[in-house]
Amino acid sequence: MVGAKVMGFFFFKRTNTAITVRESTRAGTRDVQYEVLNVLEFNSTRKRMSVVVRDDSGKIVIFCKVRGSQLRALRALCSALIGCRAR
């Protein structure tokens, strides 16, 4: 989770229904709570773990934990599918 912290995300608290992420930006630090919609557990085929969440405004976000060697492929897939931005 070092990579997430370097990018300004710190997974602060987790329950079965929500996660709280401490987000750091140039404007400051804030704790954001997300409703957990689905958890895709790690497996050797996907080589990543993903959590699909919804923020207070209703926006759907997916957080993925991947090995460094898989990050480039995941970014390309994400961009091709939905034009997302990866931080």
pLDDT in tens, 34-74: 999 998 888 777 677 888 999 999 999 888 777 666 666 66
What residue has token string 């080589």? Answer: 47
Pairing of strands 18-25, 9-14: antiparallel
Residue 10: CB atoms within 10 Å: 15
Number of domains in the chain: 1
**Residue 13 in domain:** yes
Tokens at residue 82, please?
């939905």
- pLDDT given at position 28: 87
**Residue 25 in domain:** yes
Q: Supply the range of the domain harboring residue 65.
A: 2-82
**Residue 87 in domain:** no
**Residue 23 in domain:** yes
Per cent of the chain over pLDDT 70 is: 64
By residue count, the chain amounts to 87
- pLDDT given at position 13: 87
